[in-house]
């Protein structure tokens, strides 16, 4: 009885990175994520936001916090306000807690995620 040999899986071909515009360089590492704007099929549009990663505990998702000032007429002073945005974190970028990142608007990926990380500074 002949013994079957198991062929090793062929190495996946390197995915060609595409340019997304916005003056952002493509990452040096590649990934197989379909929701990656560089190596997948996700178009970006609209707003771009810069902020700090507050948490990276979710799977492929980070929460980015940005701070802005708002003028208060009554007290004639500025007050700090913060806003949090959940964003998809592709494996090729791999943002961690404390990183300063740029996120861009994209189509809705889930109930709350409508942004994707495009650059880590």
Q: Which residues contact 38 (CB under 8 A, 6 or more apart)?
A: 17, 18, 20, 26, 27, 90, 92
Q: What is the pTM of this model?
A: 0.81
pLDDT at 117: 95
**Is the pLDDT score of 12 beyond 70?**
no
pLDDT digits 0-9 by tens, 61-101: 999 999 999 999 999 999 999 999 999 999 999 999 999 99
CATH of 44-120 among 3.40.50.11890, 3.40.718.10, 3.90.245.10, 2.40.50.1000: 2.40.50.1000
Q: What is the pLDDT of residue 25?
A: 87
Backbone angles phi, psi at 45, to 5 degrees: -160, 170
Of 100, 96, 95, 86, residue with least CA distance to 27 = 95
């Amino acid at each position: 009885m002949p013994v079957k040999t198991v062929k090793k899986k062929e190495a996946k071909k390197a995915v060609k990175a595409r340019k997304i515009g916005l003056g952002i360089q493509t990452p040096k590492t590649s990934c197989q994520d379909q929701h990656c704007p560089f190596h997948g099929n996700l178009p970006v549009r609209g707003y771009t936001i810069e902020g700090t990663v507050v948490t990276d505990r979710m799977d492929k998702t980070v929460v980015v916090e940005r701070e802005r000032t708002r003028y208060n007429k009554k007290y004639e002073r500025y007050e700090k306000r913060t806003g949090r945005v959940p964003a998809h974190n592709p494996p090729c970028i791999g943002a961690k807690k404390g990183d300063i990142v740029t996120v861009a608007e994209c189509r809705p990926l889930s109930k709350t995620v409508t942004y994707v990380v495009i650059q880590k500074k």
